Chain A
């Protein structure tokens, strides 16, 4: 399997009045043409890992790593100007909530056309045609109307599909999806995931899927990294997630209520301070 992305010893630090806070602590992993899941609770550093890859951490935050190689080229050594060619075109990111990530005063059509023309020398008419095709690809029924509409006229599920269309139109090699479905209903969730899955497969992209939903990740991904307090505590194949070994992963799985196995009391996660201090497990293949 060819390696698209190779992250080694990634740290994200935030200096504060009470010393330096480490949001991500020595995380290493590789990504091929596969679906890699990152799970963990809020504050475990999973979103920070995704943002750090694109160098989207704002000062005073600091990103340090031995290397973040995108097909052999270290992203950390790139200038901010060169980074702009990477973002969107080679690695793009779908954010959690379409309400906050789409421009509220621009029509959806203009936003998608902008995303396309930024990375491709194309005429307006050509970009419009491409955008329509892309909207159709994410199962939007009347793309012409949607192109003219503003984000507030869309439902959450449609907004998220528009985001996916916008992120995929420059044809990136890697898609980072940060909780792409957590703002959506269960019934719509599946639909959005299926669309994403289909497009990722068709184009042979690498996908980093960040989520707090263990079952979803077990279902959807090929490989899973489990993060706790900025470290990777366990790496496993997604279909073997339910047989995971680490007490943190086990605790998370056991704390879920289950329809098929009713219990009087749910198990509460007992946190061991050792989990936070133990060295990070490598997710490199």
Chain B
């Protein structure tokens, strides 16, 4: 059974005259434990797919199936125990007036965990932060540390599928390496499935097994990483992207 199946997904914003079709008829599937990438330039609709899956983009049609369960307009509580998301900008995605402890504690509380204290300690250790960061506020953390907190928050409900929306594009290259290594380790340790959005082909090439190339809201091509490395892209747009990123 596939972890995630998306069939004929359309996402749009606005209505009538102002309607913008951000995603048009997207179809792909992500296997259990697989790491799948979505690439394309800004405005191609790659982040919108993630937002539609988590329920952050209200107007969509088509089928989204997670672990065999079809998703309705209203997501069941269990959905958020299976699917979690890490956002692009760690400077914007953490509450500035909540300490790391509050951020993680609240998430754990909402998901009905009882041993919150022990779990916060464990989560911080898992993302390589340790105890001394527990009572800090976001402004006391660097970009990389913030992204680690955001990853810890996503891991708190023990999800199976992580949606990663450009997790390193706001970070320096040296910090990017640390975060990508952390994500790779976590995937191995927890048998996670990743759906990762990035505009950087080399990052996707490093992290993913297969990827979909998007242009103007449509998936133009799905290829595996070996084809990418051998510059074996079929669609002219993917070739163009490959050339631009070398």
Contacts and interface: CB of A to CB of B under 8 A. Distances in A.
Interface in B190-207: 199-203, 205-207
From B175, B177, B178, B229, residue with most partner A Cβ within 10 Å = B177
B67 to A, nearest CB: 28
Interface in A253-281: 255-260, 262-269
Given A257-B180, A259-B228, A266 B206 contact: yes
Nearest to A256: B173
Contact of B174 (A185, A188, A189, A251): A251
B174 A255 contact: yes
A190 interface: yes
A42 interface: yes
A252 B201 contact: no
B131 interface: no
Contact of B42 (A185, A252, A257, A260): A185
B181 A265 contact: yes
A255 B177 contact: yes
Interface in A174-218: 185-190, 212-214
A268 B175 CA distance: 8
Contacts of B241: 186-187
Main secondary structure of the interface of B (DSSP, over half): helix
Contacts of B15: none
A156 interface: yes
A207 B4 CA distance: 49
A262 B230 CA distance: 11
A155 to B, nearest CB: 8
A212 B176 CA distance: 12
Nearest to A267: B177
A66 interface: no
A41 interface: yes
B41 A186 contact: yes
Contacts of B245: 186, 259
Contacts of B200: 186
A251 B244 CA distance: 24
A215 to B, nearest CB: 9
Contact of A252 (B174, B184, B228): B174
A47 to B, nearest CB: 13
Contacts of A187: 41, 240-241, 244
Contacts of A251: 174
B181 A260 contact: no
B237 to A, nearest CB: 9
Q: Which 4 A-B pairs have the closest CB atoms?
A: A257-B206, A255-B177, A266-B177, A185-B41
16 contacts: A185-B42, A186-B41, A186-B200, A187-B244, A188-B41, A213-B173, A252-B173, A252-B174, A259-B205, A259-B245, A262-B225, A265-B184, A267-B177, A268-B174, A268-B177, A268-B178
